[in-house]
Amino acid sequence: LTRVRVDGSELGHEQEQTLGYQQPDRVGLMRVPRNANGRDYFVGDVQGELELLKRLLVAVNFDPDRDRLFSVGDLVDRGSDSWGVLQFAMSSPWLYSVLGNHEVMAAECFLGRRDADPLSDQAWTASVPRCEIQSAITFLLSRPPAIEVESASQRVGLIHGELPLGSSWSDLAECRFDWADADPKSTDRVVGSLLWGRQRLHQLTSALRQGVPIGDAAPDPAVGIDLIAAGHTVLRLNGFRPTLISGHLWLDTGAGNTDGRLTMVDLEAKTYLQVGRNSKVVCGRLLF
């Protein structure tokens, strides 16, 4: 397997060693204690839209000394300023993000293991200064595949794709992200679902086809945690309102698409904010 870098050179696994780019150690579930002094926000897939993210943070008067932001992953690709988002995230210790499939794909581009995919737009990786690449790889691949956050009233799980059907949150205690697991055809069912899973939403789609009405469902005890914030699949049900289905609060409202929005929620206040490329910030109430 050889890959061609932008400068025309072929890059194989041995050459990664020559360049000195290294992947970080394997990472697993991260536990984050309650924020006693400030607020916690959960944001959907940013996909390179730095300006939208900043507009939401300004709208809530975000205080980096007290408040925290939790991202469901896919900070990069598709949008207009992926490198800007990545630099912003790397310099913001109050931002916690889980590993998304786009973090993995971007790191694979940096490492020369993947060509930039025109569909998911990793072309930005080619213009990152060479001296910044190692810190970018280290940041991208040291995101945990799952985060558990304590809040005043509940325990919230944070993942990118979905909890595998039939699994419980406690099953993630031993989960580990390993380079080989990043392949969607991976035999590691758990990490594959956390990064790429859409089975729960495929079930939803077939329910919709059969005429089952979809509203805001009640929390699902089967997932083994009060609520799971997730992204990865763009949902635009109920006029973009973040929707709780199958124990997951689906937060990807397609910020990387021209007609999409970036969504951020405050679970304690039960409110959400959204902004699109051509729209101002709107807010609403969560109905669960």
Number of H helices, E strands in the chain: 7, 16
Nearer to Mn ion among residue 100 and residue 247 (C-beta): 100
Nearer to Mn ion among residue 234 and residue 264 (C-beta): 234
Q: How far is the CB of 283 from Mn ion (least distance, A)?
A: 25
Q: How far is the CB of 92 from Mn ion (least distance, A)?
A: 21
CB 254 within 8 A of CB 261: yes
Q: How far is the CB of 101 from Mn ion (least distance, A)?
A: 5
Nearer to Mn ion among residue 39 and residue 200 (C-beta): 200
Position with the least CB separation from Mn ion = 232
Cα–Cα distance, 147 to 178 (Å, whole number): 16
Nearer to Mn ion among residue 35 and residue 186 (C-beta): 186
Q: How far is the CB of 131 from Mn ion (least distance, A)?
A: 28
Phi, psi of 115 (to 5 degrees): -85, 150
Nearer to Mn ion among residue 39 and residue 231 (C-beta): 231
CB 243 within 8 A of CB 228: no
Nearer to Mn ion among residue 60 and residue 260 (C-beta): 260
Nearer to Mn ion among residue 21 and residue 96 (C-beta): 96
Q: How far is the CB of 33 from Mn ion (least distance, A)?
A: 27
Give, as one character, the DSSP assignment of residue 219.
Answer: P
Q: How far is the CB of 174 from Mn ion (least distance, A)?
A: 23
Nearer to Mn ion among residue 82 and residue 101 (C-beta): 101
Q: How far is the CB of 78 from Mn ion (least distance, A)?
A: 10
CB 200 within 8 A of CB 246: yes
Closest by CA to 157, choosing from 165, 145, 142, 166, is 145
Phi, psi of 4 (to 5 degrees): -105, 125
Give, as one character, the DSSP assignment of residue 218.
Answer: P
Give, as one character, the DSSP assignment of residue 83.
Answer: H
CB 251 within 8 A of CB 41: no
Cα–Cα distance, 44 to 229 (Å, whole number): 9
Q: Return the axis-axis angle of helices 189-196 and 101-110, rounded to nearest 10°.
A: 90
Q: Where on the chain is the footprint of Mn ion (CB under 5 A)? A: 74, 100-101, 232
Q: How far is the CB of 45 from Mn ion (least distance, A)?
A: 6
* Beta strands across the sheet bearing 95-97: 95-97, 68-71, 40-43, 261-266, 271-276, 282-285
